[in-house]
Amino acid sequence: MRVLTSLAFSGLLIVCGCREQAANPEPVASTRVKTACGLEMVFIPSGQFVMGVSEGPIDAKPTHPVKVDAFLMDQSPVIQEVYQRVTGKNPSRQKNPKNPVEQVNWSNAVKFCNLRSLQEGLAPCYDPQTWECNFDATGYRLPTEAEWEYACRAGTTNAYYFGDQAGELKSHAWFDGNSQSKPHPVGHWPPNPWGLLDMTGNVWEWCNDFYGAKYYRTSPGENPRGPKEGEKRVLRGGAWSSQAENCAVWARNCDEAGFTDVCLTMDSDGFRCVRRPAPAELASFAGDHKAGNK
């Protein structure tokens, strides 16, 4: 049951364009790679940010500085046509090839990550027996909660990446104030300052981490990966059914991972993948970043 805790490199096409950058740090939001499954990924450079909120739910406090290494993140949540292409299935309640896939539990999301990795000749991150993540593997995985919030904030310090006014959410995301009680095709709203689509609303997004209500009190300051164990996994971002406060960049949610077929999940749960850049990619992206800052 849902617990809502708070209101081969040469084979990739690099796509570059012009986009206004956010300050501190200034990422290469215009540097993207198109993957074999059809999804584009955005390069997120390493950096530091303040995670959590000073005034808010207990599980999102205290605020704390966090450093994260560079990673690639899907520009949008995984859409239904891609999920079906990779797995041969579409569990979504609201069928539309361009909609985010939904009704996906954590275990099926990580199975997708492994299948996608294998189909692209990459080393899977997840052990199929224990489902423990090997963060050194070359394949796809779910983002850590810190990576997700870092990417969603996109260099900003507000409640939302576009500011602090919940009333403006209707122009930036699908939530209960405008969704007509259903998810929608990705990319309708403008991207965040780093070029990522639908980071707020539409579907909750699974993270790799176990959920811990008090984890922020002891979280390490560099590449935190969540508690060692737990009963539920983290979800972030809010969904088409969420109130505005639950779409804030710091808002946390959680649900059971669902390791058996009888474990059903919500039709508001989806995900996007990340992966570790190969050394050659990292050097190329760093060069793009340096050139873009001249």
Compute the average pLDDT of residues 277-287: 85
Asked whether residue 194 carries a pLDDT value surpassing 80, the answer given is yes
Q: How does residue 145 score in pLDDT terms, banded at 50, 70 and 90?
A: very high
* Phi and psi torsions of 284, nearest 5°: -65, -45
| Of the candidate ranges 20-34, 35-49, 93-107, 236-250, the one whose mean pLDDT is the lowest | 20-34
**pLDDT, tens digit, for every residue of 196-214?**
999 999 999 999 999 999 9
pTM assigned to the model: 0.89
**pLDDT, tens digit, for every residue of 215-248?**
999 999 999 999 999 999 999 999 999 999 999 9
> Do 239 and 202 meet the contact criterion of CB atoms below 8 Å apart?
yes
Percent of the chain with pLDDT over 90: 81
Q: How confident is the prediction for the chain on average, in pLDDT?
A: 89
> Do 183 and 102 meet the contact criterion of CB atoms below 8 Å apart?
yes
Report the alpha-carbon distance of residue 117 to residue 111 in Å, rounded. Answer: 10
